[in-house]
Amino acid sequence: MAAKAQQRIRSFTALLTQAHQRMALEFGFRLWDGSHVPADWPATALAIAIADEGAVASLLRAPKITTLANLWAAKRIDIVNGTLFDLIAKRPKGRTRDFTKSLGKFRALKTAFDFLFVPRGGPWPLETIAPDRESDGSQDENKKDIAHHYDVSNAFYQLWLDKEMVYSCAYFHDWDDDLETAQIQKIDMICRKLRLKPGETVLDIGCGWGAFACHAAQNYGVKVHGVTLSEQQIALAKEKVKRLGLEDHVTIELADYSLIQGEGRFDKITSIGMFEHVGAANFPTYFKTVHRLLKPGGLFLHHAITRPGGSRAARTGKKRADFAALTRYIFPGGELDYIGRTVTNLELHGFEIHDVEGWREHYQRTCRFWHDRLVARYDAACKEVGEVTTRVWMVYLAACSITFARNNAGLYQTLASKRVRGPVNLPPTRADLYR
């Protein structure tokens, strides 16, 4: 048995050595027996660590994102002396298939045969999570999906969000702005885009921990009604409202936005980073609900992540494998629109478009801040929610930042009004937004 184990290590080492030489890799590998590939790779240099031979067997049999996700979550595959950002920065030029070709078909087949009867080992912590499915838009399903993402732990989010607990794209006046500053700038920019005035009523769909609602009430004198389906968000948001003495100006309700009663109840409506949870089949319900609740001529600020309109996902409606994994493990029921369809839907549902602003690079930087702050508080996060959850979120935040950096996803703020015959009473220019 020992001889066979040594043979497997020699076979796998030869395979990685060949790939390392042919692709001129700038990172190494650390194997489960303590050896390195290349053999003289410094112990303090960037490397991919493989904890057991079952991890190799699993990847050889099922080279899929779900396999890799489970191995990462269980720390059976890890990055040492660096982060995912460092690994990506030193990735070989070319595509994954080029790396696969560099392994050599004969040597790859021989290695696969050597590992054919090796048990895949364990644990497999993410296998209990059911595959993602399209949201049916029901209140029960929406609440379950939201709970999966947001009810992880308020204390967990507090470790890496800003002090106001804003969990959406920040807005940088300067790329050197810190996260705290950029998040306040984002909230205030939304208030200015909505041209909030004292005494107006505002609906905040997906209000999170109440950052926008409290800021708008304190600084613009409006009355805000926030809704969320997260039990933990509700508890912290209500405590914040009470602590700031805003009970007469801010109400927070555990409610599905689509079930809010009434017509023309609100002067302004905002939806900040909530639309991604709706699901494509439920887009019409979303736009119809906002239109019903908004007063004629009232302004609506729609803030949402998008995918490129020309992408295969946009053309076919099918999620990419990596995004499907993210929605399964982190963001169940999630679906990204593309900005062309968003604008079309707004117009089809009785809105007039006034402004569309792209914030893709702002979100790239926001997610990088979140990732780095989580890494800095890694031990505290593991203590709060466990290492598996911490590792999944760590790679999720990194992957999001990289996705925005590569322009495989975007972020747009769209300002619209409920269509009327006549003026909407907006300023003639945007100058007031940049005072």
Please list the active-site residues: 400
Decide: 228 and 149 in contact? Cβ < 8 Å.
no
Question: Nearest-CA neighbor of 83 among 118, 46, 58?
Answer: 46
Q: Where are the beta strands (DSSP E) in 326-409?
A: 351-358
With a CB cutoff of 8 Å and minimum separation 6, the contacts of 301 are: 190, 193, 194, 268, 269, 270, 271, 272, 413, 414, 415
Instruction: Give the C-alpha separation, 17 to 403, whole Å.
Output: 30
Kindly provide the residue ranges of all beta strands, DSSP E only, lying in 132-264, ordered along the sequence: 201-205, 223-228, 250-254
For residue 355, the SS3 value is strand
| Cβ-contact 305, 410 below 8 angstroms | yes
Could you give the CA distance from residue 370 to residue 246 in angstroms, rounded to a whole number? Answer: 29
The single-letter code of the amino acid at 374 is L
Can you tell me the distance from the alpha carbon of 380 to that of 372, in angstroms, rounded to the nearest whole number? 14
Question: Count of H helices and E strands in the chain?
Answer: 18, 11
Q: Residue 206 and residue 256: Cα distance in Å, rounded?
A: 9
Q: Which of 148, 294, 145 is nearest to 225 (CA)?
A: 294
Cα Rg of the chain, angstroms: 24
Q: What is the 3-state secondary structure (H, E, C) of 80-128?
A: ECCCHHHHHHCCCCCCHHHHHHHCCHHHHHHHHHHCCCCCCCCCCCCCC
Secondary structure element (H or E) that encloses residue 270, with its range = strand 266-272
Nearest C-alpha neighbor of 328 from the set 396, 394, 273: 396
